[in-house]
Structures are given as structure tokens and as C-alpha cells.
């Protein structure tokens, strides 16, 4: 079973894409809280904002991605979600490098959470199409484990970069990775690695 997954070109491409598409977001996500604290947001305010704001933003992003997938299709929804993530990362990077009020910082953080939730839904809806009908559970688990590895690498790298160069440089790097992610799916697909990717297939159950 593991050998079958690794021999699948689509699965290998999918694992590479999970790492590449989410690295910029992961680099930013882990340092968002410390950055807000460094910019003067109080612990009590941050806790309330992180709990209530994060929940509402996550739900908004999830619903938006669901509507996008249903109306535009998985492939177009993925590109739209990546564009939203790249925009959110750029906004955070600009705020980190500028003297803006607290309200602007919190707005940037909220937009980032919405974009991240939207990206997760669109990305996984698309990646579900790469799994084999013979072993969809195993294949999807491999993709999730790859995403967990990306989260670990991104979190560690984000903290390391922020400690060495500061938040503005760290977030600028995340924004650059987010911009590069826009071209990654098309690049891999043109190389033949995603020839079996279903453009118009909905993320529903396999038959």
C-alpha cells in the first residue's frame, strides 16, 4: 500500500505541493501572536481577539471556500484561495514594516485567518482528487502528514527568522513564498505530474 502511494506521480506531486503551497502561511501563522504582543497589543485583548476573532474568521474563510469550490470548481478555487493567501501575507508584511495603529494590525491578522482557513479548505478539496480509488484513506493520510511536517518546519523557521532578522523580514519572506505558491500548481501540472488532477470534479465522495 505504501509502495503504491509512492509510485503514484500524482501523490508525489501532491506531497511536494502541500509543502510548497503552505510554507508561507505556516511561516507567518506561528509568529502572528508574538508580533502583535511586540507591537503593544495587551495579553487580555489578544486572548479575546484570538479566541472570538479567530473562530469567526475561521468560519468565514471556511464558508467562503466552500462556496468558491461549488461555484468555480476545485482548480479555480485553489488558485483564488492562493491569491487571497498571498494578499493576506503581503498585508501582514506591510503592517509589520510600518507604523500603523493597533486596529490595522488586528484587521490584518483577521484577514490572514480568513485567508488561511479559505486556503486549507480549497487545498484539501483539490488534494482529495489526487488520492487513489484503491486506497483513498492511506493516500489522504500521507498528504495530511506532509502538511503537519510543513507546519512544524514553518513554525520553527518562522521563530528562528524572527529572532535573527525581526518580524518585518520574516513576514516579507512569508509573503514572497505566498507569491511563489501562486505559480506552483500550474508549474507542476505542466511538467506532467498532475495529469490526472480533476479540474471540474467536486470534492464529494468517490464512487
Cell numbers representing residue 178 in the block: 505566498
Lowest model confidence (mean pLDDT) among 113-122, 154-163, 176-185, 191-200: 191-200
Q: What is the dihedral of CA 146, 196, 73, 154, to 10 degrees?
A: 20
User: CB-side exposure of 107: number of CA atoms within 13 Å?
Assistant: 8
Q: Which residues contact 125 (CB under 8 A, 6 or more apart)?
A: 65, 69, 74, 77, 78, 203
What pTM was computed for the model?
0.81
Residue-wise pLDDT tens digits, 76-125: 888 899 999 999 999 999 999 888 888 888 899 999 999 999 988 888 88
**132 by DSSP, 3-state: which?**
coil
Q: Which residues contact 143 (CB under 8 A, 6 or more apart)?
A: 11, 14, 15, 18, 124, 127, 130, 131
Residue-wise pLDDT tens digits, 123-172: 888 877 777 677 777 777 888 888 888 888 888 888 888 888 889 999 99
Question: Distance between CA atoms of 103 and 140, rounded to whole angstroms?
Answer: 39
Q: What is the largest CA-CA distance in the chain?
A: 54
Q: pLDDT at position 86, please?
A: 94
Residues in the chain: 207
Amino acid at each position: 500500500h505504501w509502495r503504491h502511494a509512492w509510485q503514484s506521480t500524482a501523490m508525489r506531486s501532491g506531497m511536494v505541493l502541500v509543502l510548497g503551497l503552505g510554507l508561507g502561511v505556516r511561516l507567518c501563522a506561528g509568529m502572528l501572536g508574538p508580533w502583535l504582543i511586540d507591537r503593544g497589543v495587551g495579553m487580555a485583548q489578544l486572548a479575546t481577539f484570538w479566541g472570538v476573532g479567530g473562530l469567526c474568521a475561521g468560519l468565514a474563510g471556511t464558508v467562503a471556500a466552500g462556496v468558491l469550490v461549488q461555484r468555480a470548481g476545485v482548480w479555480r478555487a485553489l488558485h483564488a484561495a492562493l491569491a487571497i493567501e498571498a494578499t493576506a501575507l503581503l498585508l501582514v508584511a506591510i503592517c509589520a514594516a510600518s507604523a500603523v495603529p493597533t486596529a490595522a494590525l488586528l484587521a490584518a491578522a483577521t484577514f490572514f485567518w480568513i485567508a488561511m482557513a479559505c486556503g486549507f479548505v480549497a487545498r484539501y478539496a483539490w488534494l482529495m482528487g489526487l488520492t487513489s480509488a484503491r486506497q483513498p484513506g492511506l493516500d489522504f493520510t500521507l498528504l495530511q502528514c506532509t502538511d503537519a511536517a510543513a507546519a512544524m518546519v514553518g513554525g520553527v523557521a518562522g521563530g528562528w527568522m524572527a529572532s535573527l532578522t525581526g518580524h518585518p523580514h520574516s513576514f516579507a519572506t512569508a509573503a514572497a513564498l505566498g507569491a511563489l505558491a501562486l505559480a506552483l500548481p500550474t508549474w507542476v501540472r505542466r511538467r506532467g505530474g498532475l495529469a490526472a488532477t480533476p479540474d471540474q470534479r467536486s470534492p464529494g465522495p468517490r464512487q
